[in-house]
């Protein structure tokens, strides 16, 4: 993604990861996940301030290890301006 100069919102990154992770091997029950359901429908999830969440911490760890670039992820401000444009 970043090597192509592409940038994504947090939900878009997670949606792109779902098919490649192989989560199914870890399911103990039927996966009744709101995140998976949203990904299957490609619904936007507006999460400004996500940087202080578990997913934000995971993303930061990949940036620290040099596996991802911080610039890959669009910011919370970009989320809010995208949402405003979407609603107008």
Tokens read off for 83:
């949402």
Let me know: does 47 contact 79? Beta carbons within 8 Å.
Answer: yes
Q: Which residues of the chain, if any, have pLDDT below 50? A: none
8 Å CB contact between 70 and 10: no
What φ, ψ does residue 28 adopt, rounded to 5°? -100, -20
Q: What is the per-residue DSSP string for 13-29? A: HHHHHHHHH-GGGG-SS
| Per-residue tokens: 74 | 């669009």
- pTM (2 d.p.): 0.58
């Amino acid at each position: 993604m970043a090597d192509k100069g592409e940038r994504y919102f947090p939900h878009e990154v997670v949606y792109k990861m779902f098919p490649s992770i192989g989560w199914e091997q870890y399911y103990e029950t039927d996966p009744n996940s709101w995140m998976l359901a949203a990904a299957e429908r490609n619904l936007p999830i507006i999460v400004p301030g996500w940087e202080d969440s578990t997913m934000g911490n995971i993303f930061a760890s990949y940036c620290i290890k040099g596996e991802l670039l911080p610039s890959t992820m669009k910011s919370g401000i970009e989320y809010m301006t995208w949402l405003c444009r979407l609603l107008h």
